[in-house]
Structure 1
């Protein structure tokens, strides 16, 4: 498992992350098997959110109840959670009261005194940076949160937060896969009027911005496409050319197709983390096989073309 920097923290973290979004209906044995497969593969970074699963904090609770980690084992792993979405609203709330109360509830659910990373979960159009700064200061000084980041934020939205927030923004979790790659391929077709991918969707140069500012990009939904209902692209007939190329590379490198999908993301020099959403231990193992696999430039760009994007 290859490690990458977590923003400017000085910490090294695995470039594949185990997402815990769908575990709240799993048995203790299921959760332990998923956790064990991750740890065996070298993954010690687990991604949560307050709103994941059937009720608030239920996935966090299921994780803690099933694993009952000792203090020593808790210290061996990184726990990341998110706050800011009021799911039943539905709306967003980056107020001091909401962020602090959400983190306190996450800590109770996870049965821990701290989380390693807190992400603001999607942008709040009504954000008041001073409120976020007050929340971050309290959460940091109390020891409840050790590092802070965002999810699905544009460069200018991050800059706005930075007008008041003094802590480094260490991560930005955004949707990215071979088949859903506007943040990566937009620049390939810059100023090409006939190429839809050239349209500015993220405020301009999100990947480049995060590289310049030392912000780790985390790729969520690494297997999701946009065709055929937006489901998984692996094996999907709407992605026949892409799957043919993936299968060829899978055979060449002796790894599962899932590993190639992961390797396309981890090949990028931005040192991204891939956030898995599977609850299948075998798929975690398969995905981890892409952590160290370095595709050639020709192979990487070939997958971009096969996904239907323009490479001039």
Structure 2
């Protein structure tokens, strides 16, 4: 599988990554089999978060890595932190009450807890999960510096951050923020749609009060890797786009291109994201091996510019 550089970290990783948010739904053997299948398909980058399954997802994933016998030095592990669950986590630092928390103590505790769950001594990447409006950048900086100095985190980034939020953190921390994880795909293409519809009054494709389009250009200018989460979801967890009867035009176009390139529709939908010159990394969320293996076939899909735009139009995004 094609590998891409992650930010300016020096890390070269598979363009398709696997997110393990839902792995807590699998038993031990099924989890190990899934991770083995993903690795065999060429995926060497895995994404988790401390809140997934209230902590169980990272635990099950960590055990699956041990069961598969995959060499830790041949994969990259990423996790995220900063969200407090209403009822807390199963083995976290005891904090409860729905909120965000970028305090030094919690960020360090998050990483240490995740390392234990994942059965490893370091994270390759640690991301701030969602922007905390009460964040104090100098406190984040202290946490990052301690985590880096201890060797517990090698690289840092953010998730769901606006350019100004990125700048707010970046001006305080000495580490380069390498990635921004954002929802993106044919079912949620606002990063592109808003840019295309810029300066058009009452655009049908987006809410004029929201301006996401500058995140894409900002990330390219600052050499941050965008990681596309929920790449096959329609809207915010509104259902999968593939084989969705409410999206007949899009699925007809996916079918046509899948036949042309002799792959499944997941590969085409992944290739549409990967085709963008921003060099986006696709974070799969599927827990079905066949879908993961299909999506990993993106190298077989050689889209043309016209095919890329045909998919964009079929997804319901207009061109002015």
The TM-score by the shorter chain falls in which range? over 0.9
Q: TM-score, normalising length from structure 2?
A: 0.93
**Corresponding residue of 1:303:** 311
Of the candidates 157, 163, 176, which is equivalent to residue 155 of structure 1?
163
**Corresponding residue of 1:65:** 63
Answer yes or no: is the 8 Å Cα contact 1:154–1:206 preserved in 2: yes
CA deviation vs aligned residue, 1:149-182 (integer Å, no higher than 9, x gap): 0000000100011121110010100001112110
**Corresponding residue of 1:257:** 265
Give structure 1 stretches of 5+ with no counterpart: none
Of the candidates 90, 96, 110, which is equivalent to residue 104 of structure 2?
96
Q: Does 1:173 align with 2:181?
A: yes
**Corresponding residue of 1:38:** 38
Measured in 2, the distance between the counterparts of 1:182 and 1:72 equals 37
Task: Please state how far the C-alpha of 1:294 moved relative to its aligned partner.
Answer: 2.9
Task: Please state how far the C-alpha of 1:202 moved relative to its aligned partner.
Answer: 4.1
Q: Does 1:205 align with 2:205?
A: no
Aligned positions of 1:11-22 closer than 5 A: 11-22=11-22
For residues 200 and 293 of structure 1, do their structure 2 counterparts lie closer, same or farther at Cα, with a shift above 3 Å needed? farther
Answer yes or no: is the 8 Å Cα contact 2:2–2:299 preserved in 1: yes
Task: Please state how far the C-alpha of 1:240 moved relative to its aligned partner.
Answer: 0.7
Q: TM-score, normalising length from structure 1?
A: 0.95
Any idea what SS the aligned residue of 1:24 has? helix
For residues 70 and 247 of structure 1, do their structure 2 counterparts lie closer, same or farther at Cα, with a shift above 3 Å needed? closer
For residues 134 and 211 of structure 1, do their structure 2 counterparts lie closer, same or farther at Cα, with a shift above 3 Å needed? same
Aligned positions of 1:80-119 closer than 5 A: 80-88=78-86, 89-119=97-127
CA deviation vs aligned residue, 1:195-249 (integer Å, no higher than 9, x gap): 233636245511110001010000001111139x810011112111111111111
Measured in 2, the distance between the counterparts of 1:156 and 1:67 equals 37
Any idea what SS the aligned residue of 1:211 has? helix
**Corresponding residue of 1:236:** 244
For residues 283 and 140 of structure 1, do their structure 2 counterparts lie closer, same or farther at Cα, with a shift above 3 Å needed? same
Measured in 2, the distance between the counterparts of 1:245 and 1:95 equals 47
Answer yes or no: is the 8 Å Cα contact 2:190–2:213 preserved in 1: no
Of the candidates 214, 217, 220, which is equivalent to residue 226 of structure 2?
217
Give structure 2 stretches of 5+ with no counterpart: 87-96
Any idea what SS the aligned residue of 1:237 has? coil
Equivalent residues, number: 309
**Corresponding residue of 2:91:** none
CA deviation vs aligned residue, 1:51-102 (integer Å, no higher than 9, x gap): 001x2x2111111223326998111110000000001221100110110001
For residues 200 and 3 of structure 1, do their structure 2 counterparts lie closer, same or farther at Cα, with a shift above 3 Å needed? farther
Identify which range, 19-28 or 280-289, moves more after superposition: 19-28
For residues 242 and 204 of structure 1, do their structure 2 counterparts lie closer, same or farther at Cα, with a shift above 3 Å needed? closer
**Corresponding residue of 1:143:** 151
**Corresponding residue of 1:283:** 291
Q: Does 1:7 align with 2:3?
A: no
Any idea what SS the aligned residue of 2:178 has? strand
Answer yes or no: is the 8 Å Cα contact 2:32–2:68 preserved in 1: no
For residues 204 and 307 of structure 1, do their structure 2 counterparts lie closer, same or farther at Cα, with a shift above 3 Å needed? closer
Any idea what SS the aligned residue of 1:75 has? helix
Answer yes or no: is the 8 Å Cα contact 1:245–1:303 preserved in 2: yes
RMSD in angstroms over aligned alpha carbons?
1.7
